[in-house]
Amino acid sequence: MAKRIDYDAMLALRSEGLTASQIAERLGCSEDSVHRATRKFGLERRSSGKRPKLSPAQIHRLWVELVPTQEIADRAGISIGTMYAYAKSMHLPKRPKVERKQRSAVDPSPEEIERLKAVLKERHIQERMREDVTNTQSKVSKWRNNICSPRGVA
């Protein structure tokens, strides 16, 4: 027959912050028995996930001060995904989106356009010269060698 749990002891150990497996070990019962007892008393099951090193008040303060989310997560010792989930569970206010650099509203001059064209053309030529062309043949040389035929010719 299964051992009955001392519910008062279980609640006291749980209030000390012990996990279900630690409580079960101390009381000499199964972990499932501890989980059933927590449901019986209407207590929430604790997540086995990683807890932030910062208090909720510290996280809230950093969040409101618009410290970057990645920095808050690093300080708390959690991942950025966990930080967003934690922020959602804490009902933290939405933060304003960071404005990105906007393109200039002024159109470039014709001289600027020509200069950019020349730069891009030179970059393209340099990239093509770096390509390995030892294994390629042009379409014309393939036609000449009867490897393939031009379009429209059967």
Give the DSSP letter string of 68-137.
-HHHHHHHHTS-HHHHHHHHHHTTPPPPPPPPPPPPPSSPPPHHHHHHHHHHHHHHHHHHHHHS--TT--
Give me the mean pLDDT over the 51-64 stretch: 83
CB distance 23 to 14 below 8 Å: yes
Question: Would you place residue 53 in the very low, low, confident or very high pLDDT band (cuts 50, 70, 90)?
Answer: confident
Most confident of 31-35, 96-100, 126-130, 143-147: 31-35
Q: Give pLDDT, residue 38.
A: 84
Question: Would you place residue 77 in the very low, low, confident or very high pLDDT band (cuts 50, 70, 90)?
Answer: confident
What is the three-class DSSP state of 34? helix
CB distance 34 to 10 below 8 Å: yes
Q: What predicted TM-score, i.e. pTM, was given to this entire model? A: 0.35
For residue 39, CA distances in Å to 6, 11, 34, 35, 47 come to 15, 12, 9, 6, 14
The token pair at 55 is: 């208090």
Q: Give pLDDT, residue 1.
A: 45
**Taking the CA atoms of the chain, what radius of gyration do you get in angstroms?**
33
Q: What distance in Å separates the CA atoms of residue 58 and residue 75, rounded to the nearest whole number?
A: 10
Mean residue pLDDT of the chain comes to 79
Does residue 42 register a pLDDT over 50? yes
- pLDDT tens by residue, 95-109: 877 655 555 567 888
Q: What distance in Å separates the CA atoms of residue 126 and residue 152, rounded to the nearest whole number?
A: 35
